[in-house]
Structure 1
Amino acid sequence: MTTPDPWPAPRADAPVDVTVGLPGSKSLTNRALVLAAIADRPSVVRRALRSRDTSLMAAALTALGSPVDTSGDDWLVSPGAFDRDATVDCGLAGTVMRFVPPVAGLSSGTISFDGDPHMRNRPVGEVLGALRGLGVAVSPGDRLPFSIAGAGHVPGGRVVIDASASSQFVSALLLAGARFDRGVDVLHEGKPVPSLPHIEMTVDLLRRHGVEVDDTDADRWVVAPGPVTARDHTIEPDLSNAGPFLALAAVSGGRVTVRDWPRATTQAGDALREILAAMGCTVAFADDGLTVTGSGTIAGVDLDLHDVGELTPVVAALCALADSPSHLRGIAHIRAHETDRLAALATELGGLGADVTEREDGLSFRPARLHGGVFHTYSDHRMAHAGVVVGAAVGGVLVENVDTTSKTFPGFAGVWSGLL
């Protein structure tokens, strides 16, 4: 069935009491796929997220020479010879644009990269400059489109980068680093690296694959050369995708349980537990997952979201609905995500009546009465999440291009409507 555009976001007219199962984590799926493609034998990625971003990653690795069989729920990855020319479509996937080039450096073919028009504005130059410094031939510049002329190996060694725009710059080099002749020694120099949990996730996965990683020094990560031992993975639920569902408990004063929430995880979305508690919700682990119960009101917060910037859109939507002022800080880097999220949130929430001030590195809110209207998403799945959260509290909200949520949650609109 075709989703109307704009989509009438359903309103929560009463407290909800629902249990939700989430698709797998995009961040974990794409990291697991990269490591499986350069491992020493075939392996399986179980409960892989099936979305546009992960499908693009599977297609990219297959094009390089490591076939990824995505026909079932569990994806079989068969490492192969990177010995051919290939074209990689990055779409709107930052993980594909940044994680695949270091792997392409191991190829003996020429690998061409391009993506959706907006991706030509997203930063990747630090990764490409680092690869040049490590002995990889990259042309022509520091944005899409570009190509890598592989020599069949990467000399590797030490490289200094500024990863203040994205933690993915670091993860990209670490993921393939064990396969470089001398490994890789990555030193960050610049403003603090955002989204550090994502680097911790990368390091954790590398160690599970038998790769030696030294991260004892601040802003430095050293990956020793050596084999990547194959390992099967079962992907955790995507905890960042839990944001709108858990926010629904706060908005409706009801109760939402997310199944299979891990007791220990490197996912940034786990911070939702503390954030929602600060906003007045009761948060507790249950036998089948994590349960959040709303209090009937939403308290404003003062939060530094530097390490968990991807949660900003949903948190901002709750701040716009809160009964006291809020300040979200430390998130200038999300201007370079799928869209300039700070500007987009200020524009769209403000358009629905929110009293919001855009700042250089964040947003400030004062209590205001919101109203209906069109909420534009800018082809950004997290913006769509913000729109549906507001729509659950305010009648007449129309979310433009809600299907952009397929980036990490295919069928999201149907699942959301089913809850309300």
Structure 2
Amino acid sequence: MGVTAPETAPQASAPTSHDLLWPAPVARGPVDASLVLPGSKSLTNRALVLAALADGPSVVRRALRSRDTELMAVALTTLGAAVDTSGPDWTVTPGPLGGGTVDCGLAGTVMRFVPPVAAIADGEVAFDGDPHARTRPMAGVLDALRSLGVAVDDDGRGALPFTVTGSGHLRGGTVVVDASASSQFVSGLLMAGARYDEGLDVQHRGAPVPSLPHIEMTLACLREHGVEVDDSEPDRWRVAPQPVRATDVTIEADLSSAAPFLMLALTSGGSVTVPGWPAATTQAGDALRDLLARMGAEVTLDDAGLTVRGSGAIAGLDVDLHDVGELTPSLAALCALADSPSRLRGVSHIRGHETDRLTALAVELRGLGASVVEHDDGLAISPAPLHGGEFKTYADHRMAHAAVVLGSRVEGVLVEDVDTTSKTFPGFADVWAGLLGQAAR
């Protein structure tokens, strides 16, 4: 069965509160499916930022249309770019940057990528977002901007809400940042740095930077726009002042969003194919090829795409996920279904994502009978009988992914606010239910 993700998406406004619990469909037999994924949120929002800073109009082809990307489009429009999102390919025309109010929602890319752009706007830019967004760490990028001479007012919170006041340009220079809470601090500074008068020399000081593939993604995007970055030294990135070249780009499929779908092959003993899986990519989701193979899947990448086949048996996993932390929720759910113990390590930083994902996973998995020990940097999961019940998502799309992976094998899993998946995959619940041959509601 072939499935294509829908093109429609909610508007860039606060998500609706959902009181209904969504019964996750159980796989009654082997799933045999092919799934066309929506575009990558991470690549779409990087492309939009660079297009808004470019020396002419650009087209972002196959842009993901989701809450996070529409929030980014609105934010950049507020600052002065013209972003036409009316079709599947989005046109971005740069304009003079000015002040305004930016709604970050719960999007880390908006709250961390846009302030360095606001630093070269002519005026005051006020940032705020969803209630939980106010708990997400921002001190790294705000302190970095202050050290460069930018006026930042956050009342000492190091978090939303805050105001950035620019004067139309920024000298730039050397900046030291502690990016141990988020690689997005480095990415946001680098994307705007080429437009600073003296460029930018970003030096990380602190615990190891998490999710390094996301910085590699940023460097690849910058180079695609003609911006050269010197990353020859560990924990240091130098970008000289230079134009950001207007460039039309095509967005890759969102490989991390493939996680729950590919896991269906293991939980159902079936086969799932994602056509067009890139042979080389900077996306963290590409690690699924190795991770699922280690858990017992047969994994094949060829001209047809990436195919994962399962036998119904699932092996436990002992792995450091520091560079691919976004995969932790779905993997934790799959580990709860495994035949042997698992240990997921190196992901203390995901406590600062949409929710404290480690505590949330421990609480919700235990609520369904799983044996879970929460550690500072991860989870230890042992085989245990599972049962149905409510699984809270905490407005976090990755938690919803974990819930449906469990529900594909465990009867009676009720997912609270499954529509939070619209952050990266509009229409997720309908596509998921369609794959399992059941009605969405």
Give the TM-score of the pair, scaled to structure 2.
0.94
Shift of 1:295: 2.0
Partner of 2:95: 80
Partner of 1:372: 388
Shift of 1:287: 2.3
Q: Could you list the runs of 5+ residues in structure 2 that have no partner in the other structure?
A: 1-15, 437-441
5 Å matches for 1:331-342? 331-342=347-358
Quick one: distance in 1 between partners of 2:111 and 2:385?
Answer: 41
Q: 2:374 aligned to 340, 358, 368, which one?
A: 358
Quick one: distance in 1 between partners of 2:19 and 2:210?
Answer: 36
Equivalenced residue count is 418
Partner of 2:79: 64
Quick one: distance in 1 between partners of 2:65 and 2:409?
Answer: 30
SS state of the match for residue 390, structure 2? Answer: strand
Shift of 1:208: 1.1
Shift of 1:4: 7.8
Partner of 1:126: 140
Partner of 1:98: 112
Amino acid at match of 2:321: L
Quick one: distance in 1 between partners of 2:428 and 2:248?
Answer: 28
5 Å matches for 1:110-259? 110-140=124-154, 141=156, 142-259=158-275
SS state of the match for residue 138, structure 1? Answer: strand
Shift of 1:85: 2.4
Partner of 1:277: 293
Cα-Cα RMSD: 1.0
Q: Does 1:30 align with 2:55?
A: no
Quick one: distance in 2 between partners of 1:117 and 1:345?
Answer: 20
SS state of the match for residue 158, structure 1? Answer: strand
Deviations 1:111-132 (A, max 9, x none): 1100011111101111011011
Quick one: distance in 2 between partners of 1:277 and 1:44?
Answer: 37
Quick one: distance in 2 between partners of 1:29 and 1:288?
Answer: 24
Amino acid at match of 1:100: V
Q: Which 4+ residue blocks in structure 1 deviate beyond 2 angstroms?
A: none
Amino acid at match of 1:396: G
Q: Percent identity?
A: 71
Shift of 1:148: 1.1
5 Å matches for 1:279-294? 279-294=295-310
Shift of 1:313: 0.3
Contact 1:33/1:77 (8 A) holds in 2:
yes
Deviations 1:176-207 (A, max 9, x none): 00000111111111111000000000001111
Contact 1:5/1:402 (8 A) holds in 2:
no
Amino acid at match of 1:34: V
Contact 1:251/1:392 (8 A) holds in 2:
yes
Shift of 1:329: 0.2
Quick one: distance in 2 between partners of 1:375 and 1:296?
Answer: 23
Partner of 1:18: 33
Partner of 1:304: 320
SS state of the match for residue 167, structure 2? Answer: coil
Quick one: distance in 1 between partners of 2:206 and 2:122?
Answer: 34
SS state of the match for residue 257, structure 1? Answer: strand
